[in-house]
Structure 1
């Protein structure tokens, strides 16, 4: 498995220069100067190896930047498990929500150019834009699309984005927002959102007169020489060296939702659809750590400040308080801003099925790191980020390792084991019969998600979403309740089905999570189906 590491002598020189710079900066700020832990390739190797081994990751790429220089590159594993093609620094990964900072960078460049303003009304650029509340429609500004305080619930409407592939378009997403009912008032509180980043991409496109994909290439990839990054539609074989997502099945890593010959322009592009290599992302890290110099900077200092300003406060978890001593936490424009043991941290994570990423910057130390994983790695990401972060901010020998944080996560999970009792036991499930569902079979319609068939399949009943082919499964009966058992193993959140009538007496179908802790992007609670017709002939479906 390839590893690319700089010489120890270069690291030592770099660490010395960095310690002097940080000591001066700390003194100027009234703090206590100290020499940070030197960046040691062997120590980072041990951390990465421990994470890969503990969590049995299929592939990973890790890089560190200090003082403007790439001081560590490390890769492990394969593009697809068992196929023998190694991950390297040019391997493309889905960076998922790390894309959001690229979208806000495009907008910031347009602000620098005078093409738009953060406070512009969204309808000034997209006249067809509508939220559920007309007042919110009129008052929502470009900046409001970026900071997760729109009033929508967490992940509202995400079923128009995922699971991929699906037949939704960006126009469908913009139109669907009018039907998503808010849970809170505009700018009232934080709730993570993806759809409004899609709208932000469309705002940028409308303001600049170019498609979002072209804008990202022109404003991010080209000026920063991120030559392997891909956005929009592209050829798998022409690009090559592409990591595939994995999930754990029967104790092994299995590639899922692998790329076809033509990678499509997915509607989630501006929220989480970019792919980049480790070397690309290290250039991205360097662009954010270096201050604007003489001549025309890539991004003005005013816009750098705007993007890294805390605009929406976020809840601070007990884990953040215990592990990091965090006192401040919030969302900027595409970035999360916090403090960790007295150090300013600017960061974000990326999560898609079978792909996990993290990017962490410590701007006052001129240090950043990024890693990309092509497997189920929620805990691995948490542990690796913590182990690396503490390696850089604590004195030598005082940073807890992978085993420490893995054990803490295990303890946390065990302490919450009582929550498992809230997950209903569905082991008695059996296929639902057409006769049992009686008049409930038919064609059902939700105003933003579209049509779903609840129709006979032999003696069984199937749920089929017409615009989301992975949401196809057999209806099961559990006691007096109904749930959908999805055919696609990577769709890992089952819904209950419940039937009643709306205010006008029309039959209504609602969905809810079987597992209350399921990912919020399965936003079943936002669906409200009414029955609009009977099941047609099977051939017509």
Structure 2
């Protein structure tokens, strides 16, 4: 039978699946022996306007970007500018991780295969307009939770580090290299790097999902306007271009008679770098897929006796899967619009292979659709109890104005807590959310979308003196501490504090302003200490963490420097 004959009835099946899953659209590209046999959209790329999804619809492929980045880095390996398995610091001496073991040992393969032992830190990049170099320079701020090469921990940030290596050693950005060395030779003229730059394109896919408690679709805001192209998942493509991409992959890197990607490099991306758990057999007793392993920008599995190399792509509103069976020379790409029906991509993906291989169809649709309603009920039950830990009849320890200020974290930047109209507001990148008192010194901020269950939980903490100086919150998989930024005194104010102050026993100390505008304390026989401003006229120094220093003003003149300690207040009179 020909491939088209094996796909007989597939169109009707997809129509049924769209109805069962309430899916806005599904797109499919299938290649056999490097020849496209099916490139078709089903449903609507804009559901509200009933605009059809077709082979030229622009669709975010999300993490399917990773294989392009891995291949771009691999081209530099082929040229001797990089290596997969020697320490990356040999190529980039400025590389720095949290500890020396990682700094000296991490390889390019470790970054591409998610085996550094470092958890996700996506908020370092999401909405931050971060460049690969800026992220590379902050790798040392990410704390490992496992040893190097011990386990698979998916980490988008590491692809920024790879992108920086590409730019630093290849002489061009990752987007330029991918375009010049892969997209253009492969004829992928409709593939680009940032969804937000395509908002005026007439054939752009629009993200949707269901309302949480009813089977009705709602449009999602998926613009991410503030970001630069991100190497972990920002590329946008079409079914037509995916057919060309699949042809390249199944044809050992050739486009027509041109070797675009080295055959050995493609095989390198499929070489197992770290094992993946057999989750489906262990959790559900589904044995069709076994012995998964992650390579470089894609993973492999044995599916019903056939080697399958694939990767998924997930971003709000859009879900994709791109794969090949290299021995059988089959390639499949599936696009799905809709967060509620993301698993539909796997149903269609596996069914296409089984049809093309002449296998009896596995009941993936019944299996995965059967998980939806229990998951929906569990989410509803969890949502109904999300405030059960709230302790009634408590109040915050300070007036609201004491919580206001700028709080910073080295990796994530600054969060502003502002007091407006008798309410605290959290301001971070493109978010501006009202904080509500939860209990004690915890305040919560619900995201603006009432259908979104995400929320910030801000737990404020105090110094020894009882001043609010930090808060703890959870970002992605990490508990993070944001520390209040130093109070900003005007330069003229700091100059007023400068002078000589005398203790009760006659010891004189100097307060002076350095050329860089910082205020310092000089005590005879001790090294100089920088004053760190806590609030207006109140400072701390590193050597006395339990003390504060306040400049006292009377009648427009600074008259003393008062040190408050556990023993009480000590007054240093201004001379």
Please tell me the TM-score bracket, short chain as reference. Answer: 0.7 to 0.9
Contact (CA 8 Å) 1:152, 1:181: kept in 2 or not?
A: yes
Give the unaligned 5+ runs of structure 2.
490-575
Residues 336 and 342, structure 2, Cα contact 8 Å, conserved in 1: no
* 2: CA distance, partners of 1:62 / 1:395: 19
| Pair 478,191 (structure 1): closer, same or farther in 2 beyond 3 Å | same
Distance 2:464 2:312 in 1: 42
Q: Distance in 1 between matches of 2:179 and 2:227?
A: 14
Alpha-carbon distance in 2 for matches of 1:346, 1:503: 56
Contact 1:326-1:340 within 8 A present in 2 as well = yes
Which is richer in helix?
A: 1
**Residue number in structure 2 paired with 1:439:** 402
Query: Within the alignment, does 1:229 sit opposite 2:196 as a pair?
Result: no
Map of 1:34 onto structure 2: none
Larger displacement relative to structure 2 (446-455 or 318-327): 318-327
User: Who is 1:486 aligned against?
Assistant: 447
- Does 2:56 align with 1:90? yes
How does 1:315-334 map onto structure 2 within 5 Å? 315-319=277-281, 322-334=285-297
Q: 1:94-173 to 2 correspondence within 5 Å?
A: 94-153=60-119, 155=120, 157-162=121-126, 164=127, 166-173=128-135
Change (3 A) 1:278 1:458: same
- Listed as ranges, the matches of 1:402-421 within 5 Å are 402-407=365-370, 409-410=371-372, 413=375, 420=382
Q: Is the 8 A contact 2:30 2:39 kept in 1?
A: yes
The separation in 2 between residues aligned to 1:286 and 1:206, in whole angstroms, is 31
- Seen in structure 2, the aligned counterparts of structure 1 residues 527 and 176 have a Cα distance that, compared at 3 Å, is farther
**Shift of residue 500, structure 1, vs aligned partner:** 3.1
CA distance in 2, matches of 1:503, 1:359: 55
My pick for the range that moved more, 213-222 or 249-258, is 249-258
TM-score, with structure 2 as normaliser: 0.75
- Number of the residue aligned with 1:39: 6
Count of residue pairs the alignment pairs up? 481
Question: Contact (CA 8 Å) 1:122, 1:203: kept in 2 or not?
Answer: no
Alignment of 1:156-235 (within 5 A): 157-162=121-126, 164=127, 166-231=128-193
Please report how far the alpha carbon of residue 299 of structure 1 lies from its aligned counterpart in structure 2 after TM superposition.
2.3
1:272 aligns with 2:230: no
1:523 aligned to which of 464, 476, 489: 476
Asked if the contact 2:60–2:195 (Cα under 8 Å) also holds between the matched residues in 1, the reply is no
- Displacement of 1:102 after TM fit? 0.7
Residue 366 in structure 1 maps to residue 329 in structure 2: yes
Higher relative strand content: 2
Cα-to-partner distance string for 1:276-322 (whole Å, 9 max, x where unaligned) = 00111111111111236797622223212211011011122145772
Aligned mates of 1:167, 1:197 — CA distance in 2: 15
Aligned pair 1:290/2:251, yes or no? Answer: yes
Partner of 1:20: none
Give the match's secondary structure for 2:286.
helix
Give 1:194 shift.
Answer: 0.3
Answer with 1 or 2: which has the greater Rg. 2
TM-score normalised according to structure 1 size: 0.79
Tell me, in whole angstroms, the C-alpha distance in 2 between the residues paired with 1:503 and 1:379.
51
Are the aligned partners of 1:434 and 1:459 in contact in 2 as well (CA < 8 Å)?
A: no
1:443–1:532 Cα contact (<8 Å) kept: yes
Q: Deviations over 1:143-185 (max 9, x none)?
A: 21101111111x2x201232x4x44333332222211111112
